[in-house]
Amino acid sequence: VITGAKCSNLLRLEPPPLNNSRYVVRVDRKFRISCICQQTSLNCLHLAWRNEFGRKIDGESSNSLFTVELREHDSMYKKLSLVFTQIAKRDTGIYKCVARNSRRISANWKVEIIVVDEIHWNENNDIVGGMFGESLTIDCGSTGNPQPETYITNHNGFPLNETLFVTAGSEVTVKRLTNEYQDVIIKCLSVQEFEKYDATVVEQHEIRLDVWSSPEFNKPFVERFIVLDYSAQICCNVTRSNPPARHFRYLKGSDELRNDTNHIILIDVLNQRSCLKILSPTEYDLGEYQCEVSNGKSKSQQTIAVKEATPPGEVHVSLQDVGMTYVLWKIEEGFGEQLPIRRYIIEYIKKSILEQDETLQYDMVLSGPQGPVGSPGVQSLPGIPGPLNYDYIHSVIIKIYEHRLSTRRSWYSRNRWSTWLFWKKGITGKRGPSGSCNHCPDARTAPGY
């Protein structure tokens, strides 16, 4: 029978034992020893693990101690692993891997397993963070019996950069956290010397740095335009936050707004966005709001000025050129627009269609030298059904009629056809004198909403 280290030509243990005979293991760890028979001969017909009392350990011994038989991947040698799911102090003792042929034991390897106490890290967390711009100190020390020695390295095992870190004993300090430190890994090493076992046990604890920052917005102050009496939303979008923003709330003055009959707060944590929906805005809803955002480490506020949208100014149109297949118009916007004009629509109506419908009503503001139709002294145009005294309409539309206006040419000195104008703005219309808004769109469907 070949025993101990002499059987290494036949048996191999993974991981290799200390001095070919001993393992020192931390309590409560998962631990595995694989016994590999390095021959395919009959000498390895059977493999078994036995405890110090000679009792065989098999796949059904217990939930915490059992064996698993497999083939080594490359060589296909027979391999029997002794598995401790959570090794305990009571598991300290002698264990033996035994190889048998059909008649007798051909080899065995005896090892001692020694279970030692756990160490306790002064810093238990794997991620340690601090606010941007502040200092941060990490304690890499640990306690145990015997007392461990402490070593500190970077993630590659090299000493820390002295320009970035200050090391004093078991502590490492960052004087001022910046984005440069985000996700930097520091390795804390605890080294224990067990002289009576002639063994050294090394423990490693990796700590990742996390630089916290306050929630940020594109701008600290923004303007939002709404249409009174039509549903509207005011939103705030977080562009950067670490950790991610999780709490949003809205304040108007000192009052916090909550979900009620006129307000709904929508929060999208995944996209770092929140909106306050006002179901039926009134003049009371105009003014400044505060969107307050918290990520659990810090808070930030964005000021939102909510204003009533006004219609754009008059748009001037002149005919530039006419060809067989095209008509070229020049459109000039007014100055000082509150919001950009998003769209113009040009519609063509044939003369035959216009003449067939004598009762055609026009929902537009018609501008001429005397001013818009409906204003004092301008109730209608010759030949056009009227009166046309509508409020502002919600789109910029140029309607071009394909019949010449010989009697009205003085109205449009440069145009060969009559031109009617009304406008489209990205959000709203304007209320008429009566307070009604027959032509205002639903703000939820307006472009750019």
CATH number of residue 287's parent domain: 2.60.40.10
Clarify whether residues 370 and 403 are in a common domain. yes
Burial class from Cβ neighbours inside 10 Å (0-12, 13-18, 19+) for residue 291 reads: buried
Amino acid (1-letter code) at residue 157: G
Strand partners of residue 264: 277
Contacts with 16 (C-beta within 8 Å, 6 or more apart), sequence order: none
Two tokens at 417? Answer: 């056809």
Clarify whether residues 320 and 405 are in a common domain. yes
Q: Is residue 431 included in any domain, yes or no?
A: no
353: helix, coil or strand? helix
pLDDT for residue 20: 86
Amino acid (1-letter code) at residue 323: G
Give per-residue burial for 28-39: e unless 16+ CB within 10 Å, then b. Answer: eeebebbbbbee
Q: State phi, psi for 5 to the nearest 5 degrees.
A: -65, -25
Q: Is residue 435 included in any domain, yes or no?
A: no
Asked if residue 146 has a cis previous peptide bond (ω within 30° of 0), the answer is: yes
Clarify whether residues 199 and 293 are in a common domain. no
Kind and range of the H or E run holding 356: helix 351-356
Burial class from Cβ neighbours inside 10 Å (0-12, 13-18, 19+) for residue 415 reads: middle
Clarify whether residues 193 and 242 are in a common domain. no
Place of tokens 């493999």: 47
Two tokens at 145? Answer: 């019996």
Q: Which of 94, 88, 29, 6 is nearest to 57 (CA)?
A: 94
Q: Is residue 442 included in any domain, yes or no?
A: no
CA 325 from centroid of its chain's CA atoms: 52
Q: Is residue 429 included in any domain, yes or no?
A: no
| Number of domains, the chain | 4
Clarify whether residues 189 and 235 are in a common domain. no
301 CB neighbour count, 10 Å cutoff? 16
CA distances from 125 to 149, 171, 208, 273, 446 (A): 20, 15, 9, 30, 51
Clarify whether residues 136 and 185 are in a common domain. yes
Place of tokens 């109506």: 349
Of 116, 149, 175, which closes a domain? 116
pLDDT for residue 439: 39
pLDDT for residue 341: 76
Q: Is residue 343 included in any domain, yes or no?
A: yes
Residues of the chain with pLDDT under 50: 1, 358-449
- The dihedral built from the CA positions of residue 316, 370, 413 and 407, taken in this order, carries a sign that is positive
Q: Is residue 439 included in any domain, yes or no?
A: no
Clarify whether residues 109 and 92 are in a common domain. yes
DSSP at 18:
B
Clarify whether residues 288 and 375 are in a common domain. no
Q: Which domain holds residue 95?
A: 2-116
Clarify whether residues 103 and 127 are in a common domain. no
d(CA 424, CA 407): 30
Q: Is residue 433 included in any domain, yes or no?
A: no
Please compute Rg for the chain using Cα positions.
Answer: 42
pLDDT for residue 386: 39
68: helix, coil or strand? strand
Clarify whether residues 291 and 329 are in a common domain. no
pLDDT for residue 334: 65
Contacts with 62 (C-beta within 8 Å, 6 or more apart), sequence order: none
Clarify whether residues 42 and 100 are in a common domain. yes
Q: Is residue 28 included in any domain, yes or no?
A: yes
157: helix, coil or strand? coil
Of 268, 287, 308, which closes a domain? 308
Clarify whether residues 387 and 347 are in a common domain. yes
Of 75, 94, 116, which closes a domain? 116
